[in-house]
Structures are given as structure tokens and as C-alpha cells.
Amino acid sequence: MTRVAVLYGGISVEREVSLNSGRQVIAALRQAGFDVLPIDVGEDLGAVIAALDPKPDAVFNALHGRFGEDGTIQGVLDWLGIPYTHSGVRASSLAMDKVAAKAAFHAAGLPVARGRVIAVDELAANDPLPLPYVVKPVNEGSSVGVSIIRQGDNRRSEVAENWRYGPVLVEEFVPGRELTVGVMGDRALAVTEIIAEAGTFYDYESKYADGGSRHVVPASVHPDTYAQALEFAVLAHRALGCAGATRTDFRYDDTAGEPGRLVLLEVNTQPGMTPTSLLPEQAAHRGVSFPALCTWMVEHAACRA
């Protein structure tokens, strides 16, 4: 029987999200017949390494956020010689750094939002872009720290005063709809439209609060847009050198009619892993159950140094 260690929890601001993913993965892998070793990752890296001795056959990385999806734990696992799920050090670190990822997407000919990196002092002093615009951290996931500054809302000073994420990435606000595409290996699964029930953008609360959003899969968009989103997701996955499963997020500006403008936002190398998360939903839409998806990930685990 294959022995799989599941790393979950972690020390990022996304710990609770990771704990939820990890619990679901543990149950699914046990249902699929694996010998599962759960490891709740905390601040003591030595304790994590000790828990991985004797070495499991594979590690299922269910960590989210810093130290879990930025290449850090991937480097440790490469050092230890333990195969792991999802992307390696380079792809993980690139995807987590929104500026570096945008450069890679741009070089691959993919459409990205216009923007630049500024110091928080500049945000406090003046609007760095025409309104409306988006403010986001360079290195965070799950929409942590993301705000939209709109005409007349007077939130810029408040956002700047409470900022704790380092340099600020500001980007044009792309109106329209939120789309996402999961990729397994070299194939795109489907296009999902995400509708935030509060009528705002798909922020942290919309992602994780009960009833915060609903998912429409397959998305009801122009056929050309649907096909383009599938293609762009695979190209983005390849541009970063990703492995295993990823999820690519888009904004779709159809305010002037369809087909509209598709803008790539980011690639998530550690998508949420509960049966109702976006990637598993798309896999189910393609006939892949949650235990089968988790099994596929373990079967494709590797050291990626």
C-alpha cells in the first residue's frame, strides 16, 4: 500500500483554508486505499522533517500561502528526496510573485492587466492610476489584501494606513466577470464563472464564507471566449513551468458585448482541495471524482529540482 503524507495547516494567513483542504484530502486518499499520514505543519520545520522519517512514498502538499506554495516546502522536499504533488520550486515561486508571473505571461504573449509596483507611501499620497484600480500584495494568495479603489469611495488612505504586505501592486480594474480554468497535466478541464453573492469582487470572504459565492460550470460565455480561456490556461501553466494541477483566474470584460476582452490575473499552483472547490468541481464536471483527482495527483508526484 502506498504511504502518503499530507502536509496541511502551515503558518501563513491561509492556515484555516489549508486545514480544510487537508482534512478533505486525507479522507479522500483513505477512501482511495492509501495509507495516509496527516502532518499539521507549524512553525517548527525540524518537527515536520522528523515526521517525514521514515520517508513516505509521496507527499500530498495541501498547504496554501507563504512557505507552502511559494517554493519553500518544495525545496525542503527536493532536498529530502521525497516526491510531492503540484509544482516545483521555480514554478511555485514564480506563480506566487505576481510581478514575476506577469512578466512570464507577457513574454508568452498572454493578456495581462496594466499596472506597476509602488511603495505604500505613494499610495498614501496620490492615486497611482486612473480610477478605478486594484491594489494587491505582490506575494499573497486567496485575495488576501486585495482592494478595489473606486471613484468617490475615499478608501485609499485607509488601505495605505493598514497595509502590511510590503510593496504594493496596482493594476487597472477590469470590469466584467470572474472566470477560472483548472488544468490537470496538459489539459484544461472547464471554464467556471464565479459570482460573488455580495455583488462585489471575488474577495477572501466570497471565497470562503458559506454562501459567499456560486459557481457556474460550464460558464455561459461566447464559444470563442470559452475556447480561448482553455487555451490561455494551458499556456500560462506551461509559461511558469507548472506540474500537476493548477487553476488560472481571469477577468472577462464583456461590458461592450461578446466576445469581449479576456485578461489573465494569476495561476494558483495550490488550488483549494475540497469537493466543492473550483478545481475539484471542474474535475467532477469532466467525470473525475474527488478521490480519483487526489489519486491522480499522488500518482504524478515527483521531486522537481
The residues that are catalytic are: 14, 142, 208, 247, 249, 266, 268, 272
Q: Which amino acid is at 250?
A: F
Q: Work out whether the CA dihedral 226, 230, 231, 232 comes out positive or negative.
A: positive
Burial class (CB in 10 A: 0-12, 13-18, 19+), 256: exposed
Distance CA 170, CA 291 (A): 39
Angle between helix 89-96 and helix 223-240 axes, rounded to 10 deg: 120
Report whether 182 contacts 278 (CB < 8 A): yes
Nearest 5°: the CA angle 218, 221, 227 is 75
Cα–Cα dist 275/86, whole Å: 18
- Give the type of residue at 34: F
- CA gap 203, 182 in Å, rounded: 19
